[in-house]
């Protein structure tokens, strides 16, 4: 199934990142550029790097200049993550372009790729919560609490992945239809963000 493949690719990306565990590690995407597998691996890699940037910037001792640099990286990453979600939705839309919606077909409030985005982040939560649940230098109370959270996260993965696969299957069967809406984020656009375009006057 598509969603099982996506989870496997997310796990592969997370493992590959943690070989060096550095936000400056160069990505080595093993999948063909024009494949959805390439997009899924890239999506999770970007999520993984941003996860660790978010950790770094929360260091209370961080240098202000470095913090600003990281904030800029996070802003760039957020835009790229949004773009990748739209690329995945576009791929799914193209895959189903010959499907004619059945009478009474409904539209989902969330596109498949935005749900896949949540699944990618969830896989990161599972990876890191598993580490915390087994961290030997942590207290028994800490490990027990994290094990409880990990159990919930694994249940969330099961529920979310089932729901996404059902949505994808329904789209392929004509029971649901989808559209790709561009996010049109305004704060990154020099012509739409007043702080930016007023500087050009």
Residue 114 has pLDDT above 90, yes or no: yes
What pLDDT digit, counting tens, does each position of 49-99 carry? 999 999 999 999 999 999 999 999 999 999 999 999 999 999 999 999 999
The model's confidence at residue 194, banded by pLDDT at 50, 70 and 90, is confident
CB 3 within 8 A of CB 168: yes
Q: Yes or no: say if 6 and 47 are a contact pair by the CB < 8 Å rule.
A: no
74, 50 in Cβ contact below 8 A? yes
Residue 19 domain flag: yes
Q: Is 76 part of a structural domain of the chain? A: yes
Tokens of 140: 């028994």
- Residue 96 is assigned to a structural domain of this protein: yes
Secondary structure in 3-state letters for the chain: CHHHHHHHHHHHHHHHHHHHCCCCCCCCCCCCCCCHHHHHHHHHHHHHHHHHHHHHHCCCCCCHHHHHHHHHHHHHHHHHHHHHHHHHHHHHHHHCCCCCCCCCCEECCCCHHHHHHHHHHHHHHHHHHHHHHCCCCCCHHHHHHHHHHHHHHHHHHHHHHHHHHHHHHHHHCCCEECCCCCCCCCCCCCCCCHHHHHHHC
pLDDT at 187: 64
Q: Is residue 147 part of a domain?
A: yes
Mean pLDDT of 151-177: 98
pLDDT of residue 201: 65
Domain residues for the domain of 183 are 2-188
As a whole number of angstroms, the distance between CA 146 and CA 18 comes to 20
196 in any annotated domain: no
Check residue 185 and give its pLDDT: 63
What is the pLDDT at residue 179? 86
Residue 200 placed within a domain: no
Supply the mean pLDDT for the chain: 94
Compute the average pLDDT of residues 26-54.
Answer: 97
pLDDT at 128 over 90: yes
C-alpha dihedral sign at 58, 81, 114, 116: negative
Q: How far apart are CA 115 and CA 89, in angstroms?
A: 10
Q: What domain count does the chain have?
A: 1
As a whole-number percent, the residues of the chain with pLDDT over 90 amount to 89
More confident residue, 200 or 64: 64
pLDDT of residue 199: 74
Domain-located, residue 71: yes
Considering the domain boundaries, does residue 201 fall inside one? Answer: no
In this prediction, residue 9 carries a pLDDT of: 98
Percent of the chain surpassing pLDDT 70: 94
Contacts with 106 (C-beta within 8 Å, 6 or more apart), sequence order: 175, 176, 177
């Amino acid at each position: 199934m598509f969603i099982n493949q996506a989870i496997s690719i997310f796990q592969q990306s997370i493992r590959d990142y943690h070989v060096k565990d550095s936000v400056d590690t160069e990505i080595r995407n093993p999948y063909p550029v024009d494949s959805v597998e390439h997009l899924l691996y890239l999506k999770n890699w970007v999520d993984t790097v941003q996860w660790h940037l978010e950790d770094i910037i929360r260091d209370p001792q961080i240098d202000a200049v470095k913090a600003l640099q990281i904030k800029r990286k996070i802003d760039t990453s957020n835009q790229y993550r949004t773009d990748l979600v739209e690329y995945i939705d576009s791929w799914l839309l193209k895959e189903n372009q010959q499907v004619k919606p059945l009478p009474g077909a409904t539209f989902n409030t969330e596109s498949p790729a935005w749900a896949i985005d949540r699944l990618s982040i969830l896989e990161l939560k599972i990876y890191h919560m598993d580490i915390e649940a087994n961290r030997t230098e942590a207290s028994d109370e800490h490990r027990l609490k994290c094990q409880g959270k990990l159990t919930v996260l694994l249940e969330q993965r099961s529920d979310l992945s089932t729901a996404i696969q059902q949505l994808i299957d329904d789209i392929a069967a004509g029971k649901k239809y989808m559209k790709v809406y561009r996010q049109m984020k305004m704060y990154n656009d020099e012509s739409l963000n007043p702080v930016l375009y007023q500087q050009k006057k």
